[in-house]
Structures are given as structure tokens and as C-alpha cells.
């Protein structure tokens, strides 16, 4: 029996653990406590494996009121219809997806965002998370989200003057928002790592811990828009920092950047589209948010598009 690190998710609403069958065993997940349990002594027959990815991210809109030069999100106007997203959640939930994360763009700019979170929390068994710059999470907005979101990921690039130069927003305003967020729901910090932000990483981790974050997710910059991404020397420095880190925060790293990191993969047999899929703001399902190709979700629904994408992926190997 293998215990998987919890994702520090929480809900005020009781719920039964969700059961997902896959090639690594029987996975039980409780979105109230955030506890994941893997029974790996029993491998179910392949015909019983979950057909939906374990986790699905959905870019609700490309709209964003920031203009970070390293952002990989498309800037062409696009947004998903509320009813389409609801229909996809209703497909994914009974077919093995345990968590959905909303992003963008900036998801808090999506019309009826609070209604969507409320629907997912009350009408599905999915854990609900979203990634945001945090500045729109005013007290009234947070009050509407309370009990309907299990985890929030706050993007933070550097601290103090570095953050303000890159994000063009006051850092003390972010600090005030984090103080309000932690009273409502657990949160983590998504820390973009590049040559600008790497010098701040010690201070950033200390700040995140003091602010009450439960996770510090490292996101090494990817090449985009002519930018080269994180250099080899900076990547090596980041790996050194991770090996020396002795703080209390749980460290995590994006899957696309995990190579060379002292990372643990609790579900090594559950890879590719079994583990994760991304849906962009045009309704195209992809293997990751960095992929340029995917399959448009049609009237047959998201599972049919995932099946087609899986076939295309296998054919390309």
C-alpha cells in the first residue's frame, strides 16, 4: 500500500472518497481532506481502467488584464460557453477524473465564474481548483467562492520590486489578498522561475510560508514568443536550490520540467492522457497547455475528443 502526498484540498461539505481504477492500482481520493490513497497490491483489469484523465485543466478564457512577456497563454480573444463546460464536467466526473482546474487567461474575468465553481462543487465529485493572479479576489468575490473551491493557485513572479516590475501590480496588494484568501480556502504559490525571479527565490519561499501557503510550485519558464526560456545555468541553479531547501513548504514542479529534479511519481504507470489533459479556450483538448495540436471537442463530447486524441498520439509514436 502506497500513500500519496495530499494536495491540501479542503471543503466544508462532506463527501465520499472518489474511487479511480487504473494501471497503478485502486486510487481513492477525498476532496474534503485532500487525502490520496493508492492500493497498489490490486491491479484492476484494463477494461475497468478509468477512461477520463485523472486531472483536467480548462482555460475558460484568454482574457487577462496583465501583459507578462513570458506568458504562454494565447492572446487571441476566446472564451468557452458556460453550458459547454458544465456538460464536460458531467462527462468527466463519472468517468474517472478526480480534479478540474480552471485557468486562462485570468479565470476570474470569466462571466459566471463563481456559478461554475458552485456547480462543480455541488453537482459533481470533482475537486475544484483554479490559477489566478489573485488581484480580483476581493472579499465579496471570495465569499461567493467559499465552500465551492478546494484549492487556489496564486501566480507570483519574484517579490517586492521584481514582482511589481514584471506584473505591474503592487506587491503589498497581493499580500493583502493572500491574507484574505487563506481565511477562505487553502492556497499555493505558483512561482515562475527565470533569470529575473531566480535571485528572489529564497525570499519568495519564506514569504509564501509566512503568508500561509501550503505548496510552492516551481514553473521554469518555457520558450515562448521569441524568449528562450530558462537557461541551462539557471536550471542547474534551481536544481541546486531544491536540493538545499529546508523550509516547511511542500515543493512541487511542473511535470514538463520535472526531469533532473528529485521528484516523486506516485503513479508511474499512469502517464499521458490517462494522467492529464488540457482544454483551451477554443474548446480544443490537448496533451498539455504547451501543445500546439489537439482535437476540437464536438457534439459527441469531451470523451470522444479525448479518444480521438489518444488514437492520434499512439499513431504518431
87-97 per-position pLDDT tens digit? 999 999 999 99
Note whether residue 22 is domain-resident. Answer: no
Task: Identify the band that residue 68 occupies on the pLDDT scale cut at 50, 70 and 90.
Answer: confident
Total domains in the chain come to 1
Q: Residue 306 — left, alpha, or beta (φ > 0 → left; ψ -120 to 50 → alpha)?
A: alpha
How far does the chain reach from its first CA to its final CA, in angstroms?
Answer: 33
Note whether residue 243 is domain-resident. Answer: yes
Note whether residue 234 is domain-resident. Answer: yes
pLDDT of residue 183: 94
pLDDT of residue 53: 97
Note whether residue 92 is domain-resident. Answer: yes
Note whether residue 30 is domain-resident. Answer: no
Domain containing residue 116: 46-316
For 245-283, how does the pLDDT look when each residue is reduced to its tens digit (9 = 90+)? 999 999 999 877 777 788 778 888 999 999 999 999 999
Flag whether pLDDT at 6 surpasses 50.
Answer: no
pLDDT of residue 4: 36
Q: What are the distances in angstroms from CA 101 to CA 44, 55, 126, 175?
A: 27, 8, 10, 23
Question: How many C-beta neighbours within 10 Å does residue 29 have?
Answer: 24
pLDDT of residue 73: 84
CA distance 306 to 155: 28
CA distance 173 to 35: 32
pLDDT of residue 15: 65
Query: Pick the residue with more confidence: 256 or 105?
Result: 105
Note whether residue 160 is domain-resident. Answer: yes
pLDDT of residue 12: 44
Tell me phi and psi for residue 248, to 5 degrees. -95, -10
Helix axes 113-123 and 82-92, enclosed angle (nearest 10):
20
pLDDT of residue 203: 98
Flag whether pLDDT at 113 surpasses 60.
Answer: yes
Flag whether pLDDT at 2 surpasses 70.
Answer: no
Flag whether pLDDT at 3 surpasses 60.
Answer: no
Note whether residue 2 is domain-resident. Answer: no
Flag whether pLDDT at 10 surpasses 50.
Answer: no
CA distance 103 to 130: 6
Cell of 38: 493508492
Q: DSSP readout, 68-125?
A: -TT--S--S--B--HHHHHHHHHHHGGGT--EEEEESS-GGGSTTHHHHHHHHHHHS-
Instruction: For the chain, give the mean pLDDT.
Output: 91
Pairing between β-strand 36-39 and β-strand 25-29 as defined by DSSP bridges: antiparallel
Flag whether pLDDT at 14 surpasses 60.
Answer: no
Flag whether pLDDT at 289 surpasses 50.
Answer: yes
Question: How many C-beta neighbours within 10 Å does residue 83 have?
Answer: 8
CA distance 4 to 236: 27
Flag whether pLDDT at 7 surpasses 70.
Answer: no
Per-residue three-class SS string for 14-32: CCCCEEEEECCEEEEECCC
CATH no. for residue 159?
Answer: 3.20.20.70
Flag whether pLDDT at 315 surpasses 90.
Answer: no
Task: Identify the band that residue 317 occupies on the pLDDT scale cut at 50, 70 and 90.
Answer: low
Note whether residue 226 is domain-resident. Answer: yes
CA distance 111 to 170: 25
CA distance 303 to 66: 33
H-type alpha helices, the chain = 82-92, 113-123, 139-145, 160-167, 171-181, 201-211, 232-244, 302-316
pLDDT of residue 126: 97
Cell of 22: 487504473
Note whether 18 and 9 are within 8 A (CB).
no
For 137-196, how does the pLDDT look when each residue is reduced to its tens digit (9 = 90+)? 999 999 999 999 999 999 999 999 999 999 999 999 999 999 999 999 999 999 999 999
For 194-229, how does the pLDDT look when each residue is reduced to its tens digit (9 = 90+)? 999 999 999 999 999 999 999 999 999 988 766 778
Cell of 31: 476532496
By percentage, how much of the chain surpasses pLDDT 70? Answer: 94
Amino acid at each position: 500500500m502506497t500513500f500519496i502526498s495530499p494536495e491540501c484540498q479542503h471543503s466544508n461539505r462532506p463527501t465520499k472518497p472518489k474511487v479511480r481504477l487504473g494501471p497503478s492500482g485502486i486510487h481513492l481520493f477525498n476532496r474534503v481532506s485532500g487525502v490520496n490513497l493508492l492500493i497498489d497490491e490490486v491491479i484492476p483489469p484494463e477494461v475497468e481502467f478509468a477512461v477520463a484523465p485523472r486531472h483536467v485543466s480548462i482555460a475558460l478564457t484568454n482574457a487577462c488584464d496583465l501583459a507578462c512577456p513570458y506568458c504562454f497563454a494565447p492572446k487571441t480573444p476566446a472564451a468557452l460557453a458556460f453550458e459547454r463546460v458544465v456538460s464536460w464536467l458531467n462527462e468527466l466526473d463519472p468517468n474517472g477524473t478526480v480534479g478540474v482546474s480552471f485557468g486562462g487567461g485570468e479565470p476570474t474575468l470569466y462571466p459566471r465564474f463563481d456559478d461554475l465553481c458552485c456547480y462543480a462543487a455541488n453537482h459533481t465529485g470533482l475537486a475544484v481548483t483554479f490559477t489566478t493572479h489573485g488581484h480580483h479576489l476581493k472579499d465579496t468575490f471570495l465569499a461567493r467562492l467559499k465552500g465551492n473551491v478546494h484549492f487556489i493557485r496564486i501566480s507570483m513572479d519574484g517579490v517586492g520590486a521584481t514582482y511589481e516590475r514584471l506584473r505591474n501590480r503592487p506587491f503589498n496588494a497581493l499580500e493583502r489578498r493572500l491574507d484574505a484568501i487563506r481565511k477562505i480556502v487553502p492556497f499555493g504559490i505558483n512561482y515562475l522561475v527565470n533569470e529575473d525571479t531566480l535571485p528572489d527565490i529564497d525570499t519568495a519561499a519564506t514569504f509564501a510560508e509566512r503568508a500561509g501557503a501550503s505548496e510552492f510550485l516551481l514553473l521554469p519558464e518555457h520558450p515562448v514568443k521569441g524568449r528562450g526560456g530558462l537557461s541551462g545555468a539557471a536550471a542547474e541553479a534551481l536544481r541546486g536550490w531544491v536540493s538545499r531547501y529546508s523550509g516547511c513548504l511542500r515543493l512541487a514542479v511542473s511535470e514538463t520540467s520535472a526531469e533532473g529534479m528529485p521528484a516523486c511519481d506516485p503513479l508511474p504507470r499512469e502517464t499521458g492522457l490517462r494522467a492529464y489533459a488540457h482544454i483551451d479556450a477554443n474548446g480544443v483538448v490537448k496533451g498539455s497547455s504547451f501543445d500546439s495540436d489537439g482535437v476540437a471537442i464536438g457534439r459527441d463530447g469531451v470523451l470522444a475528443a479525448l479518444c480521438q486524441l489518444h488514437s492520434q498520439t499512439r499513431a504518431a509514436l
